[in-house]
Structure 1
Amino acid sequence: MKHKFFLFVLLMVFGQFAALAQQNYTVQSPDGKIKATVDLKDKITYSVNHENDQMIAPSPISMQLSNGETLGAKPRLKNVKRNTVNKTIPTPVYKRSEIKDNYNEMVLNFRDDYSVIFRAYNDGVAYRFATSKRKDFNVQNEEATFNFDKDYTAIVPYVKQEQTENPTIEQQFDNSFENTYTHSPLTKLDQNHLAFLPVAVEAANGKKLVITEVDLEGYPGMYLLNKNGKTSLSGVFPAYPKKVEQGGHNELQMLVKERENFIAKAKGTRQFPWRAIVIAEEDKELADSDMVYKLAEPSRIKDASWVKPGKVAWDWWNDWNITGVDFEAGINNDTYKHYIDFAAENGIEYVILDEGWAVNKKADLMQVVPEIDLKEIISYGKQKGVDIILWAGYYAFDRDMENIAKHYADMGVKGFKVDFMNRDDQEMVDFFYRAAETGARHKLLMDFHGAYKPTGLQRTYPNVINFEGVHGLEQMKWSPPQVDQVTYDVTMPFIRMLAGPIDYTQGAMRNATKGSYRPIHSEPMSQGTRSRQLAEYVVFESPINMLADTPTNYRKEQESTDFMAAVPEVWDNTVALDGKIGEYIAIARRKGNEWYVGALTNWDPREMELDLSFLGEGNYKAEVFKDGVNAHRNAADYKREVIDVPQDRKLKIKMAPGGGYVARFYKQ
């Protein structure tokens, strides 16, 4: 009997060792289409398949610590834990009122006090490192690799540095995260030029994937680089700043002069950012992805009901260029009262005071120029039902953050547009979180310009209501005709917008065809048609959304203005209707009982048939703004009409070159 018991114990022990000797571990999406396979040999590698197509070939991952330890090298597995989640996430400020969060999770726990967590969703895969060490440590570097089995086409936004010829990698870390896209085979990507996230790759059988990151807290942002001319992308990270100096735009930045030999300071027990790979069988799915929101840390604000999305009458893009008034327009009380009057007339919630209200080159937000009486402007706005948002340079805000937030919140200011961070090393990422938390305590909205792409901060702090990190309409103030903004507009929603909202600042009333566009700083125009500008309020996600043009131009074009001012900023539901990266896009969004549809094309004229089956039963009418018959010659030509929605729910539309189409649907 004792021998049998001993044999039983021996078999049990052997079984446990055999299980730990296993080298491959897999996790599948709930629908079974996506599978991540993790291999544990000399180092941790992973691969990702979508059905029979390999999306990521075996790729090594590791994290090198400054003490010489490498997480992921010669991994010694302790145990594997699995979990399935299927829940609904309510969303206070988003493109739908709730999100379905359904995934399978695999946690690989290793003997050296670290774990690697893999999640498989129906629309992609994500992984992250986590540590449970007793002592804090520094991360010297991270190996984040994305290998491909073929020379696919990548769609990348390279870091743009116009001031420096052949910039070094270090110089490229100072950038505003704004550029158009380059389409290139993986092997032909510039081996000396960083691409900032998100990045897209055209994979097998027409499928696409987008690489980005989520939950960046306490860590630097990741760039991608083809280091060796092969079919591979590798993560590159800015090191922790050792020495910074005030400088840059109007002395409002902190420029890195020297860096440490590590990328991050880390608490002993913590989780590191998610490396996310979003996978789509059809391009349109990328334009409606929830991956970043699903992966992000839940809100730290218990009650976000005070966060008020809205439209903003904006001064800077139109250069304070108002006419027909009896005062000299500029940065002064009379001008801002005029903007407030315009906002009140059109139900616009906010007016922004952009750069110029604080004394220049002082980096001191307590020094207001004598032409401005902020208390008077704020009081005037309140009388009219219009709130004020202030622009702030990064260093001016950061150097006295708590005092500034309290002072202006007490005065009645509702938010800050903070600009010119132009970095995403750990020190700067920490600033974003501190600014979000400080703003939340004082019930201030935060709109980050000069900012890296969203990484979920908008869920963690819903008062962070928008981000730039987009090649927006402001570029049309100075970009030459060779810059193709129209093609960018039908590329960016599938890639950059996947990460989160965009402060694109649309709304141009001067509209140009491909041949008539030119940059004029004080009287800027858009590339593409008027209907395109209107449709962008539906296609683009912007919970705080600028009307970029001047009140003078809007009053001359009241029909267009009425529509722009009335389009919601957040939505109850979103449906991606159709789209192809770089060619066209059509999106439907619902607020309450009304649906809106926006569509954009590239420089090709286009006919489309929209499937409106999402409307359900009933008789619907639609208020439509479409390109006029002469919009190919005069981009401002448009036609507004009210139509009956076909009972078969098939709506045929036409768009001019650089055109757009937008409609509001309501039951009769």
Structure 2
Amino acid sequence: MRQSLYLLAVILLLISCQNNSDDQSDLEIGSPDGALVLKFDLSKDGRPFYTTSYKNKTVIDTSYLGMDFKNLDNFDQDFKITSSGTAEFDETWEMPWGEQLEVQNKFNELWVKLQESNDSGRTLELRFRIYDDGIGFRYEVPEMERIDTVYITEENTEFNLTQDYKTFWIPGDWDIYEHLYSTTKLSEINVDKYRNHSNLAQTYIPNNAVNTPVTMVGTDSIHISIHEAALIDYSGMTLGVNSEKLGYKSILVGSENRDYKVKKTLPFHTPWRSVQITDNAPDLIESKLIVNLNEPNKLGDVSWFKPMKYTGVWWEMHLGKSTWDYGMTQSMDSWKDTGKAHGRHGATTENVKQFIEFSAENNIGGVLVEGWNTGWEHWIGFEDREGVFDFVTPYPDYDLEEVTAFAKARDVQIIMHHETSAATETYTKQQDTAFALMQKYGMNTVKTGYVGKILPKGEYHHGQYMVNHYNNTVVKAAEYNVAINAHEPIKATGLRRTYPNTISREGLRGQEFNAWSSDGGNPPEHLSIVAFTRMLAGPIDFTPGIFNIKFDEYKENNQVNTTIAQQLALYVVIYSPVQMAADLVEHYEANPEPLQFIRDVGVDWKQTKVLDGAVGDYVVIAREERETGNWFVGGITDENVRSQTIDLDFLEEGKTYQMRLYKDGEDAHWNDNPLSINISEREVTKGEEINIEMKPGGGFAMSLMLVENE
């Protein structure tokens, strides 16, 4: 049915203008609604540049484009326009899973063919796509005589803005995205305080640059977020800060092993450089610019992956209740030789069965098991990590056969875990064997991890080598009907459209920092920034649902800096098709009333509506579950109290819904009284208004379940 709908989608591809004149300048293309206008031109010395206006106001001023090469003249000037053309495109496609079922992909396109005026005659094509909610553009390098491969040393793509935007940013770290966001003016960005972070296993920040998405808010309510789409066989892009120009220039992630950053065989094109532009914060989240800039599904039917909630052996290790390793020794083989274990191993057969039973009883479809396989005694802090892990051999106290049979009998899926310790060659060699084992036991989802400095030495998590490793792993996994939830990943760039087994990823400072970081954990504002920055890139495996906010029995100096109501709201606010109920079973069993929301909440959505929000302050999101017609609403705030009026106008006319509202108690506070919660229930219909006050670090969650007609 979905494929049929896709084929029946309205598709218009009309070449409306093609000009082959040698005398072309000031080319222009507007968005379908006319609000956005992009202009392209060449400077007097033949340098290509673009500008962009929104509602008749320039938002991106003269911004030059170009590339630097090793052993070749750069692509940066002495160009002339030889031809150009425009096109219109409109289609509707379906997400196999996602924030909504149907996505409209509607844009106007401008392409420009350039040729160097010198004797080389080299050519370059630039392609711009203009949507109602932003722009995307890329470089396209055709085949050339006597050149079959180029070595790119830098890509000089500029984004020069017209005001000193309030900017929400993390540093341009080549190795990790797990930093807290800073909020400063663009001109005041300085990454120095982020260097040498004690809580990170790997970090490298060579430039005064930011990672993307970077989101900015202007004094005129203009909202801009710069990112990239369809990152394949290329290096990730950071943005070097130009305080004087109030702008950025791209800085590609490099390698210590070569004197170039990207190697490409001609012909090729770069990833899309994307700029979302709206006049309000909610529209940033509702935008589908990033996924629309990616190619359609290449895998076909992926119904073997089912969005799900999951529990697992994970949080208890971060708390220190149990460990990933079995023997706690410095030698990989000593526990095998002696048969001795320290008795605190978490991934035991009996412990995992406890999680399976709990999940089966509470409408939770999966159980993640970390620390099940041998190698954890020697996995981090060692230079030679190749060959440490294998991905088929369990520890002696974990019976894979028994556990998977136990789970299958209860309709619960075991989620595999592959921690690579960033030893990429070991993992690449073992992938066929590891994924075949998963296929044998009916496991369709794996959480991968890449903690530590990349091996081979000298590579970085976000360079071309690792971009290819991550993407090749996704393609390989698809051969075995396996979906990837990547941790310590490359950034999300919308490839979930092309490869829908790319289901979620980390790529941010997650919940675990609350359990073990020495800097106080994630502050109350953290996720109200993340929703408008990192979440614009794609799904996040944040692991919400911590009920035991102050875990003094394990770590008295650490806590989660939210209320329990906000932990419930995150199941709606922070999107992922896999959502963890991350806390310990005993903490859920001690709180059966708030647990009901986790039982009820959906994970796969027909439509999403961002009802309200301000970047870094608060956000309120409503989502309709596919198949059931039930709605769920979540709202979160930073350290400030917020009063919200929720208009239920999004509900279906003539239907009655049973509303169950979980909101902060009157005296709730993220630090002083985080467990204070008020739960109420009544019937509601379309158009009613619900008044809610979110307390400091708090929020609310709401389930709206359709009442069956008698």
TM-score (norm 1): 0.88
| 1:659 matched to 2:698 | yes
The SS at the match of 1:458 is coil
* Candidates 118, 128, 134, aligned match of 1:118: 128
1:555-588 Cα offsets, whole Å, 9 max, x none, are: 1112222311321112000011000011111011
| 1:634 matched to 2:673 | yes
Summarize the Cα distance change of 1:540–1:121 in structure 2 as closer, same or farther, 3 Å threshold: same
1:109-164 Cα offsets, whole Å, 9 max, x none, are: 234343110011000011001122152322221011111222222211125xxxxx
In structure 1, distance between residues paired with 2:61 and 2:154: 22
TM-score (norm 2): 0.83
Does the 8 Å CA contact 2:321/2:554 hold for their aligned counterparts?
no
1:200-238 Cα offsets, whole Å, 9 max, x none, are: 122351111000000110001011121565412121112
The 5-angstrom pairing of residues 386-401 of structure 1 reads 386-394=412-420, 395=423, 396-401=426-431
Partner residue in 1 for 2:153: 140
Does the 8 Å CA contact 2:140/2:268 hold for their aligned counterparts?
yes
Summarize the Cα distance change of 1:25–1:519 in structure 2 as closer, same or farther, 3 Å threshold: farther
Partner residue in 1 for 2:304: 306
In structure 1, distance between residues paired with 2:347 and 2:303: 33
Does the 8 Å CA contact 1:321/1:522 hold for their aligned counterparts?
no
Partner residue in 2 for 1:11: none
Partner residue in 2 for 1:334: 350
Does the 8 Å CA contact 2:657/2:706 hold for their aligned counterparts?
yes
- Report the structure, 1 or 2, having the larger helix content: 1
Structure 2 letter corresponding to 1:44: P
* Candidates 525, 546, 556, aligned match of 1:487: 525
1:363-415 Cα offsets, whole Å, 9 max, x none, are: 32234222222122111111121111222123342232222222332233322
In structure 1, distance between residues paired with 2:310 and 2:559: 19
Which one is further off, 87-96 or 52-61? 52-61
Partner residue in 1 for 2:360: 344
In structure 2, distance between residues paired with 1:267 and 1:322: 51
Does the 8 Å CA contact 2:304/2:444 hold for their aligned counterparts?
no
The 5-angstrom pairing of residues 125-274 of structure 1 reads 125-134=135-144, 135-159=148-172, 172-174=173-175, 176-190=176-190, 192-227=207-242, 229-239=244-254, 241=255, 258-274=256-272
Partner residue in 1 for 2:688: 649
Deviation at 1:108, TM superposition (A): 0.9
Does the 8 Å CA contact 2:53/2:60 hold for their aligned counterparts?
yes
1:530-572 Cα offsets, whole Å, 9 max, x none, are: 1111111011101111111011111111222231132111200
* Candidates 272, 276, 279, aligned match of 2:277: 279
Partner residue in 1 for 2:493: 455
In structure 2, distance between residues paired with 1:439 and 1:26: 43
Does the 8 Å CA contact 2:291/2:494 hold for their aligned counterparts?
yes
The 5-angstrom pairing of residues 24-39 of structure 1 reads 24-39=26-41
Which one is further off, 423-432 or 635-644? 635-644
The SS at the match of 1:307 is coil
Summarize the Cα distance change of 1:572–1:536 in structure 2 as closer, same or farther, 3 Å threshold: same
Does the 8 Å CA contact 2:597/2:703 hold for their aligned counterparts?
no
Partner residue in 2 for 1:91: 95
The 5-angstrom pairing of residues 451-530 of structure 1 reads 451-480=489-518, 482-511=520-549, 521=555, 525-530=559-564
* Candidates 608, 613, 616, aligned match of 1:582: 616
Percent of residue pairs identical = 27
Partner residue in 1 for 2:107: 103
1:640-661 Cα offsets, whole Å, 9 max, x none, are: 2112436643221111111111
| 1:531 matched to 2:565 | yes
In structure 2, distance between residues paired with 1:387 and 1:651: 38
Structure 2 letter corresponding to 1:216: L
Partner residue in 1 for 2:331: none
Structure 2 unpaired stretches of 5+: 1-17, 116-121, 192-206, 323-342, 379-387, 452-459
Deviation at 1:522, TM superposition (A): 9.4
The SS at the match of 1:55 is strand
Does the 8 Å CA contact 1:188/1:229 hold for their aligned counterparts?
no
Does the 8 Å CA contact 1:478/1:519 hold for their aligned counterparts?
no
Structure 1 letter corresponding to 2:635: A
Structure 2 letter corresponding to 1:194: A
Does the 8 Å CA contact 2:308/2:603 hold for their aligned counterparts?
yes
In structure 1, distance between residues paired with 2:63 and 2:284: 23
In structure 2, distance between residues paired with 1:321 and 1:189: 37
Does the 8 Å CA contact 2:650/2:686 hold for their aligned counterparts?
no
Aligned length: 616
Deviation at 1:504, TM superposition (A): 0.5
Does the 8 Å CA contact 1:317/1:524 hold for their aligned counterparts?
no
Deviation at 1:26, TM superposition (A): 1.1
Which one is further off, 335-344 or 640-649? 640-649
| 1:369 matched to 2:407 | no
Structure 2 letter corresponding to 1:380: F
1:286-313 Cα offsets, whole Å, 9 max, x none, are: 1222111111121110111111110111
Partner residue in 2 for 1:246: none
Summarize the Cα distance change of 1:92–1:288 in structure 2 as closer, same or farther, 3 Å threshold: same
* Candidates 580, 583, 595, aligned match of 1:549: 583
Summarize the Cα distance change of 1:470–1:77 in structure 2 as closer, same or farther, 3 Å threshold: same
Structure 2 letter corresponding to 1:57: D
* Candidates 394, 411, 430, aligned match of 1:385: 411
In structure 2, distance between residues paired with 1:152 and 1:630: 36
Structure 1 unpaired stretches of 5+: 1-14, 160-171, 242-257
